[in-house]
């Protein structure tokens, strides 16, 4: 018989970015370290997680079904739409390292000038990679996802209009983790393993 307590509805969530190689929390209820920066407001669409596999099947003489089915490649993606404009999101969207951005300070004038950031289009070799932390929250339950190393593999078009904020739709693809660690780790509260 089903148990409605096992249904997870992601009513809220947060995303955190850090440098690749940063240390993740050891439990889903432990606070994120100071090296993980909150990436700001996310649209109500929440998080879209996808897992795709490429498989190789081996046949055998006289058998009408494959005798071996091997996973050749597994690709995990995480799609979010961010509302705020920050240096972090500009860096990820336009693929520009912070070192290649310039911040010009405000001047009181006269004439007074506002602070501004400037950068050129990123080079295809100027790849921006981060460690990404995600929390999906619902009624005291937490699903924490930790991606040791990822990059932006797809971007939605940015719309500048009076109808909505100028959002950043980013799809992150998990990459091989440094040092042979797990590329993606999940921690989910209140899920019990069956006893053998």
24/36 Cα distance (integer angstroms):
9
pLDDT at 145: 97
The mean pLDDT value for 51-79 works out to 93
Structural domains present in the chain: 12-188 (4.10.410)
Evaluate if residue 10 carries a pLDDT over 90: no
pLDDT (0 to 100) of residue 179: 83
pLDDT at 110: 87
List of residues 6+ apart from 142 with CB closer than 8 A: 28, 29, 135, 136, 187, 188, 189
pLDDT tens, residue by residue, 101-143? 999 999 998 899 999 999 998 777 778 999 999 999 988 899 9
Q: Are 148 and 177 in contact (CB under 8 A)?
A: yes
Answer for the pair 98, 87: CB distance below 8 angstroms, yes or no. Answer: yes
Q: Which of 73-82, 143-152, 175-184 shows the lowest per-residue confidence on average (mean pLDDT)?
A: 175-184
Give the pLDDT confidence score for residue 71 in this predicted structure: 87
Burial-class residue 145 by CB neighbours within 10 Å (0-12, 13-18, 19+). buried
Model pLDDT for residues 67-104, shown as the tens digit of each residue? 999 988 889 999 999 999 999 999 999 999 999 999 99
- Taking alpha carbons only, the member of 117, 146, 119, 104 closest to residue 14 is 146
Mean pLDDT of 137-165: 93
């Amino acid at each position: 018989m089903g148990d409605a307590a096992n249904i997870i509805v992601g009513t809220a969530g947060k995303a955190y970015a850090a440098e690749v190689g940063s240390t993740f929390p050891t439990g889903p209820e432990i606070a994120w370290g100071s090296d993980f920066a909150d990436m700001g407001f996310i649209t109500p669409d929440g998080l879209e997680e996808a897992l795709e596999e490429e498989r190789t099947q081996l046949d055998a003489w006289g058998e009408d079904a494959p005798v071996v089915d091997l996973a050749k490649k597994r690709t995990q993606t995480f799609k979010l739409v961010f509302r705020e404009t920050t240096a972090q999101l500009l860096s990820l969207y336009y693929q520009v390292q912070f070192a290649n951005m310039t911040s010009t300070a405000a001047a009181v004038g006269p004439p007074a000038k506002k602070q501004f950031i400037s950068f050129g289009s990123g080079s295809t070799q100027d790849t921006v990679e981060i460690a990404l932390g995600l929390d999906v929250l619902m009624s005291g339950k937490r699903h924490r996802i930790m991606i040791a190393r990822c990059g932006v593999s797809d971007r939605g078009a940015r719309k500048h209009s009076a109808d909505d904020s100028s959002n950043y739709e980013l799809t992150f693809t998990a990459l091989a983790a440094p040092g042979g660690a797990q590329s993606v780790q999940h921690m989910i509260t209140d899920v019990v393993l069956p006893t053998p």
